[in-house]
Amino acid sequence: MRIWNNAQNCVYDENDPRCRVWVVGRVAFVQALDVGDASNRFEVPHVKRYAGPFDIEDFAESVLEILNKGAKWEPDFLKGADRLAKEHKKLVYETQEGDSI
């Protein structure tokens, strides 16, 4: 499946390993390819990253909206989010372990 943004210069292609989607709750972080304008395509596409609201029931429409209106994000952002998620799980586990019944 390929999902093109409205300007036809950015594409999410599920068969391209450079294109990915990470879902965190109701937000998705989409990594897609900027291929340039229709009249001036890049020889090598540039990786672009956008984030926005996500509905798992409507994957294609959610990705399209993110490509059209999403906020930009940098790769290091997800590394920090992963670290925070691990710390949160550890904190929840420690709290549950110390609780008395």
Neighbouring C-beta atoms of residue 72, cutoff 10 Å: 9
Give the predicted TM-score (pTM) of the model: 0.75
Q: What pLDDT band is residue 83 in, cutting at 50, 70 and 90?
A: low
**Tally of domains in the chain:** 1
What pLDDT digit, counting tens, does each position of 30-68 carry? 999 999 998 899 999 999 999 999 999 999 999 999 999
Q: What pLDDT band is residue 100 in, cutting at 50, 70 and 90?
A: very low
Helical (H) or strand (E) element with 16: none
Provide, rounded to the nearest whole percent, the portion of the chain with pLDDT above 90. 68
Query: What domain range is 58 assigned to?
Result: 2-73
| Residue 10 CB burial class (10 angstroms; 0-12, 13-18, ≥19) | buried
Q: Is residue 79 part of a domain?
A: no
Q: 75 is written with which tokens?
A: 């790769």
Rg (CA), the chain: 17
Q: In the 8-state DSSP scheme, what is residue 17? A: T
Q: Is residue 68 part of a domain?
A: yes
